[in-house]
Structure 1
Amino acid sequence: MHVYRTASRARQRGLSFIGVIFIGLIAVAAFAIGGQSIPIFLEYQAIQKAAAKAAKEGSTVPDVRSIFDKAAAIDDISSIQGKDLEVTKRGDKVVVSFKYSREIALAGPAYLVYRFEESTK
């Protein structure tokens, strides 16, 4: 009978308590970082949209910056302003470029840094 018990324990599979705790900590960290990252990517998409609108509608550098600032006020963009845009012309097209970074504090001196760089086409 004792041999039967040992054999059944050897066939058992699953996670130990330490394994469950470890996976739980990883899941909590992933949700915490993801929860802070999603607004950053949503803002990046809003910046792309505002830059494309400014490039399409503006003809001069002050025009483009003004249009971007108005769109930024509507979409609650705080990472970049119209003065941070690089506005150039390629042929008869206005090209708007931007570059910025955002940080997420993880723990102590550790940060997760997102660097964004884009130009309209």
Structure 2
Amino acid sequence: MKTPNLPKPQRGLALSTLFIWLFIIIVLALLGMRLIPPWMEFATARKAIQEISADKVGTTTPQEVRKAFNARATIDDITAIKGEDLEITKEGGEVVISFAYRKEVPLFSNMGVYMDFAASSKQ
């Protein structure tokens, strides 16, 4: 007895599925392009205050710390905060620098994201 040849099931990607996946990838790419730069700026600002706090020379007064941060902000293109926004305290003879700010990132027409950032030079 001979078995009938059954057609093999179709394989591949439907055009509608391709469009859905392309839409998802494009939306994720746009979100990434909008949301990653504020995170990178925050990381740069956090690194700057940690290095300024660790540097014992020329950063003993709040004015010197603010001046050092403004110089670093100019070099590293930090625009979200300025030296005047820093909270500078001394704990145990060590200078502790901290900041907090909110960044609004517009996404599409009337939609946006608020991102709250806070960092301190104290680990």
8 A Cα contact 1:66 1:82, kept in partner: yes
Q: Tell me, what secondary structure is at the counterpart of 1:95?
A: strand
8 A Cα contact 2:34 2:107, kept in partner: no
Pick one of 19, 32, 35 that aligns with 1:34. Answer: 32
| Count of residue correspondences | 116
More helix by percentage? 1
8 A Cα contact 2:86 2:97, kept in partner: yes
User: What's the CA shift for 1:13?
Assistant: 4.1
Aligned residue in 1 for 2:117: 116
Question: Following superposition of structure 1 onto structure 2, how do residues 55-94 of structure 1 map, counting pairs within 5 Å?
Answer: 55-57=53-55, 58-94=59-95
Could you give the per-residue CA deviations for residues 25-44 of structure 1, whole angstroms, max 9, x where no partner exists? 11011111112223222211
Unaligned runs of 5+ in 2: none
Question: Following superposition of structure 1 onto structure 2, how do residues 13-52 of structure 1 map, counting pairs within 5 Å?
Answer: 13-52=11-50
Aligned residue in 2 for 1:54: 52
Residues of 1 paired with 2:107 and 2:5: CA distance?
50
Could you give the per-residue CA deviations for residues 10-53 of structure 1, whole angstroms, max 9, x where no partner exists? x3244322221111011011111112223222211210121112
State the TM-score, normalizing by the size of structure 2.
0.82
Letter in structure 2 aligned against 1:29: V
Unaligned runs of 5+ in 1: none
Which deviates more, 16-25 or 34-43? 34-43
8 A Cα contact 1:53 1:68, kept in partner: no
